Amino acid sequence: MTPESIPRFAPGHRLHEDAARGRWVMMGPERMFVPDETALEVLRLVDGARSLAGIAGALAARFVAPEAEIAADVAALLEELRTKGVIQA
Amino acid sequence: MRPEPPLALLAELTHRCPLRCPYCSNPTQLTGAGEELDTATWARVFAEAAALGCLQVHLSGGEPMARRDLPALVRAAQGAGLYTNLITSGVLLDAPRLAELCAAGLDHVQLSVQDAAAAGGDRIGGYAGGHARKLTAAAVIRAAGLPLTLNAVVHRQNLNNLEQLIDLALDLGAGRLEVAHVQYYGWALANRAALLPSRAQLEAATAVVAAARRAHAGRLVIDYVVPDYHAARPKACMGGWGQRFLAVSPAGRILPCHAAESIPGLDYPRVQETSLHAAWYASPAFARFRGTDWMPSPCRGCERAEIDWGGCRCQAQALLGDAAATDPACDRSPRHGLLADALAEAASAGQDFAYRQFSESNIRSDGIV
């Protein structure tokens, strides 16, 4: 993936509010996982329109953090999720 | 201690099915169409499940596509916030019907096959032309952009075709393949001698799965579990009785697992009178085998008590006539030898099946009396 790549959820995957347990879960075909706080912030910005750079920029502005560092973290996370079939880009 | 809420609901919408698989997981006493819950009741059940904490509903059967109101049921489950998984044989699925389900919000399809090719598949499923219809259904599912899991139920008569089943999953564009060994309850127990694989077959299959996982990593996920009859440890059935899942039968019984009605003496609540919440937290049937307090020796005090949860209650019932006994699949059970006896019997048994069927003697009435 490059900074211009636009990530989206693979078919059958979506973020879901698990109200009974006070958390968000990533639902997929006969599997689910619970993203940590950082991953959840990233996944909430995956909308099929924002690029990796756009996601990093939004997070950098929100958390007042260095954009290059955040961009590297976002890329690593989304790449991992891509190999697991959760994200397409 | 208050139990955790369940994660998923298995909704057995109907027992009707065009196929006659000799290992069908439905009870041997089948529910007729006239006893099935109506659309509004299922919609209420889905809302109750979501409120209780379920995240996913498996729409199953029988063949769930036999329900003409399936799009309305999917819409109700989706509206309640559940991830909707359709578990189907595919023989009633065509593009127009799938389009309705997609519009209703269906998330995923699990499609079963009985073998890798038509001759074996049609014989095992007891339905001429079924295999070809399944291939068409898979193409329709993929064309709609839905993720597909292929479910291959395996046993002695098709396990040697596992490589071809894996190729089929790849050809059909499935993202997941479940290699599901037959579980020997009900219909399958009656056909056990014709279905049990040999140790040599199992070892070859396990090696095929390992190689295929490496070869197709990132493209195809393969789920595979060593079957009870060749295992030393029992499966943690349903993740423990009343701990992670609940099922509702076509007639509305609320069950800890879809086979639980094979255990006599437990009074399962019905959705017509009891909420899923009350069933989960307050019914004696759900509490009966929950946790570890019910356990006999050798489960009691075993370091695996909270890993295996005593194995499967229905298997203990089916093989020992005592649902409260240690699952004989465990090699610490004093009755573990029963499984070796069954394997020895199967080694010299024939290939003929007693197919699943509706008949006057096995349709039950489960209505209010």
Task: Indicate yes or no: CB of B110 within 8 angstroms of CB of A30.
Answer: yes
Q: How close does chain A come to B235, measured CA to CA in Å? A: 18
- Asked if pLDDT for residue B178 goes beyond 60, the answer is yes
Q: Where are the beta strands (DSSP E) in chain B?
A: 8-12, 30-31, 56-60, 83-88, 108-113, 148-154, 176-181, 221-224, 245-248, 254-255, 363-364
Question: Residue B109's pLDDT band (boundaries 50, 70, 90)?
Answer: very high
| B99 Cα distance to chain centroid | 26
Residue-level pLDDT at B358: 81
B256: preceding bond cis by omega (within 30 degrees): no
Averaged pLDDT score across all residues of chain B: 95
Residue-level pLDDT at B290: 96
Chain B residues closer than 8 Å to A11 by CB:
145-147
Task: Indicate yes or no: CB of A83 within 8 angstroms of CB of B218.
Answer: yes
Question: Residue B366's pLDDT band (boundaries 50, 70, 90)?
Answer: low
Interatomic CA distance for residues B39 and B295, integer angstroms: 39
| Percentage of the residues of chain A whose pLDDT score is greater than 90 | 76
- Asked if pLDDT for residue B369 goes beyond 60, the answer is no
Chain A residues closer than 8 Å to B110 by CB:
30
A73-82, B8-17, B70-79, B107-116: which range is least confident on average?
A73-82
β-pair partners for B248: B11, B254
β-pair partners for B153: B180
Task: Indicate yes or no: CB of B107 within 8 angstroms of CB of A30.
Answer: no
Task: Indicate yes or no: CB of A12 within 8 angstroms of CB of B55.
Answer: no
Interface list for chain B against chain A, based on CB atoms closer than 8 Å: 5, 7, 51-53, 55-56, 81, 83, 85, 107-108, 110, 145-147, 149, 175-176, 218, 221
In order of B52, B67, B89, B182, B299, the CA distances from B333 in angstroms are: 36, 42, 36, 22, 9
Overall average pLDDT of the B21-29 stretch: 94
Chain A residues closer than 8 Å to B85 by CB:
29-30
Chain A residues closer than 8 Å to B245 by CB:
none
Task: Indicate yes or no: CB of B55 within 8 angstroms of CB of A27.
Answer: yes
Question: Residue B357's pLDDT band (boundaries 50, 70, 90)?
Answer: confident
pLDDT digits (tens, 9 = 90+) for A13-43: 999 999 999 999 999 988 899 999 999 999 9
